[in-house]
Amino acid sequence: MDDRGGSFVAVRRISQGLERGNNTCHSSSAEVVAGSAAWLGRGLSCVCAQRRESDARPSFDLTPPQEECLQRLQSRIDVAYDSSVPEHQEALKALWNAAFPEEELHGLISEQWKEMGWQGKDPSTDFRGGGFISLENLLFFARNFPTSFQDLLQKREGDRSVWEYPFAVAGVNITFMLIQMLDLEAVKPRTLVGATFLKFLEEDDSAFDRLYCITFKLMDHEWLDMRASYMDFNAVMKSTRRQLERELLSEDITRLEELPSYTLLTR
């Protein structure tokens, strides 16, 4: 079995919506749920959905511009993927065209989607893990870093395992992991890494999408470095998160482009 046919652990938010009356919102809780079948039937949980004791820290005050940027990002996070919405349909078609420009898509529900690493023939069932923003992240990656996107999609780099991670659903998990790591569904960030990220977001409204691309490439780098296989995905995600947190908290980093892992996107 290769990455096209493999099943994968999906994640989802169970408390939808950030109530924004009077600039107030409430963070949601999270849980891990199995997709159509958990990896190898073992019910693996993804590290991106696991809360840690270190996450419970005092909140950090925001400047008005940072608060506005956070609210804009939260409004994106709160949009569920809806296969009946034309905008969502067009974004999904655009993702296919970016991934396989020479292959005609036969429908939004098609066995072809397995070629991208979705669990089945209907990607909408996997988008429940990260909402519409996870599709936006993938599309941003494909359009802004097409070479790196294709390298990951086609698994071009490194000595690969026979049992590979499925590209597309891994991308949904990365979106979810970043939302949790950066504490983006809280009124204010309660971690230093979350507060640090908002400084980048204030300077660049696409900072979350750019960090997503960096993280995906870093995850694949960790995967190869650890000589990982199908069952090692959780360990790879843990390692990726730790490395990303270290880089974001480096005192000499003032822009995302200065992160050491950014070079993985451009080399």
Res 235: pLDDT? 95
CB-based contact 183:194 (threshold 8 Å) = yes
Q: Per residue in 108-166, pLDDT tens? A: 999 999 999 999 999 998 987 689 999 999 999 999 999 999 999 999 999 898 889 99
Model pTM? 0.81
Q: Pick out the chain residues at pLDDT < 50.
A: 1-56
Res 29: pLDDT? 32
